[in-house]
Amino acid sequence: MERKKIRAKITRGEKMLYSVSILAFLFTFVLKIFCGATLGNLSIDTEKVRTKIASQQKTNESLTMQVNELTSFDYVKDVVKEMGLAYNNDNIVIVNE
């Protein structure tokens, strides 16, 4: 007896199901790559902003120190002496509310 070769037939519904699952897998793969790239770009931008903030904070601290130095009583006293003015304690008026 000869055996007949049984060929598995794929129905139209199975073909559609396989196609949809392959497309869904490919879409998920592409979406994962796209989201990963976007996330990487956002991380780089975040680090750039943090670096700028740190730099600006250092600049602000430096400027604050300069302001404190320039407004100190000793510095003002030296500038007044250079201009030929004298510090007269009797001319100071204290106003109380």
Q: Which of 36-40, 49-53, 67-71, 74-78 has the lowest mean pLDDT?
A: 74-78
Q: Are 77 and 86 in contact, with CB atoms under 8 Å apart?
A: no
**Tally of domains within the chain:** 1
Residue 66 in any domain: the answer is: yes
Residue 69 in any domain: the answer is: yes
Residue 24 in any domain: the answer is: yes
Q: Which of 3-7, 39-43, 52-56, 62-66 has the lowest mean pLDDT?
A: 3-7
Distances (CA, A) of 94 to 73, 76, 77, 89, 90: 17, 19, 19, 11, 11
Residue 83 in any domain: the answer is: yes
Domain of 37, in residue numbers = 12-89
Q: What is the mean pLDDT of the segment spanning 69-94?
A: 81
Residue 96 in any domain: the answer is: no
Q: Are 75 and 69 in contact, with CB atoms under 8 Å apart?
A: yes
Tell me how far apart the alpha carbons of residues 75 and 83 are, in angstroms, rounded to a whole number. 13
Q: What is the mean pLDDT of the segment spanning 4-19?
A: 86
- With cut-offs at 50, 70 and 90, classify the pLDDT of residue 42: very high
- With cut-offs at 50, 70 and 90, classify the pLDDT of residue 79: confident
Residue 35 in any domain: the answer is: yes
DSSP letters for 4-25: PPPPPPPPHHHHHHHHHHHHHH
